[in-house]
Amino acid sequence: MKIGYFILNDRLRSHPQARDLIAQLEGAQYELYEIRNKADVQPETDLVLSMGGDGTFLSAAHVVSDIGLPILGVNFGRIGFLCENRPEEVLNALMEGDFRIEYRTVLNATLKGPGARKSIGMLPYSVNEVALHRKGPSVLGINVAIDGELLPTYWADGLIVSTTSGSTAYSLSVGGPICMPDTKVLPISPHNLNVRPIVLPETAKVDISFESRDGIAIMTTDNRTVEIEPEWTIHVEMAQFSLKRIRLASSGFVKALTSRLFWGEDMRNNG
């Protein structure tokens, strides 16, 4: 098996557990090499190890998700929903085939309008969310059309179009619903106490524009940002490919919710 590994934090390269994992995999006759960008990906690579936290996993996904390589997250961070597996769990799971591949929705976000860029950086794809939020002190008037049908204007600090993967991230923090990973939906969550989140089918096409006295706003796609103007429209739809994420048999979504977010923590549930 040929494995590329992706490390975002340079300090992690000297981490004892990271070095041990690489040595153990090489000792088990796996071929390993490091990936820093898409040009580094070698032919016949079987999978990518993302070594770090969820931010590292998202960066790895931006590099390899659209070329179909499955990603296994190895957690050296803190919470870790996408990157949930401990280093000591990886070797045996790979050797015994004790894992499966999940297919996660990816969003494709493009900007339309006079002078607008047609993509965000070199890659317009998002694994977690596409978000619009204010740059200055003024509240945004956010106009959202779903498959061409205009919703009432949101007056809010921002708005998030999430995938199910991103439903436990920023979307959750502004009151959005938790969605099981294999649910085929797109939650929209405004940062506004008076408007409830809405859940759309995965096939929906979403167009977002805004008005603001500040004259500018910020668009975020996962961990990348760009300033946008009121004359531009953000078009969001499902990408034509899915992210392949490797889930070890020892892990699970509900287990991650209870262990990382203390979901359902209640003295009545003890014992």
What are the tens digits of pLDDT across the range 203-255?
Answer: 999 999 999 998 899 999 998 888 999 999 999 999 999 999 999 987 767 76
- Is a pLDDT exceeding 70 seen at residue 151? yes
H/E/C letters for each residue in the chain? CEEEEEECCHHHHHCHHHHHHHHHHHHCCCEEEECCCHHHCCCCCCEEEEEECHHHHHHHHHHHHHHCCCEEEEECCCCCCCCCECHHHHHHHHHHCCEEEEEECCEEEEEECCCCCCCCCCCCEECCEEEEEECCCCCEEEEEEECCEECCCEEECEEEEECCHHHHCHHHHCCCCCCCCCCCEEEEEECCCCCCCEEEECCCCEEEEEECCCCCEEEEECCEEEEECCCCEEEEEECCCCEEEEEECCCCHHHHHHHHCCCCCCHHHCC
Please tell me which of 28-37, 162-171, 181-190 the model is most confident about, judged by mean pLDDT: 28-37
Average pLDDT, the chain: 88
- Is a pLDDT exceeding 70 seen at residue 142? yes
pTM of the model: 0.87
Of 173 and 120, the structure prediction assigns the larger pLDDT to 173
Q: What is the mean pLDDT of residues 8-29?
A: 92
- Is a pLDDT exceeding 70 seen at residue 119? no
- Is a pLDDT exceeding 90 seen at residue 120? no
Q: What is the mean pLDDT of residues 253-268?
A: 66
Q: What is the mean pLDDT of residues 108-115?
A: 89
pLDDT attached to residue 265:
65
Instruction: Return d(Cα 31, Cα 255) in angstroms, integer.
Output: 32
Q: Is 171 exposed, middle or buried (0-12, 13-18, 19+ CB in 10 A)?
A: buried
pLDDT attached to residue 46:
95
**Among 20, 40, 54, 207, the one annotated catalytic:** 54
pLDDT tens per residue, range 65-106:
889 999 999 988 676 778 888 899 999 999 998 999 999 999
pLDDT attached to residue 233:
95
Active site residue 20: no
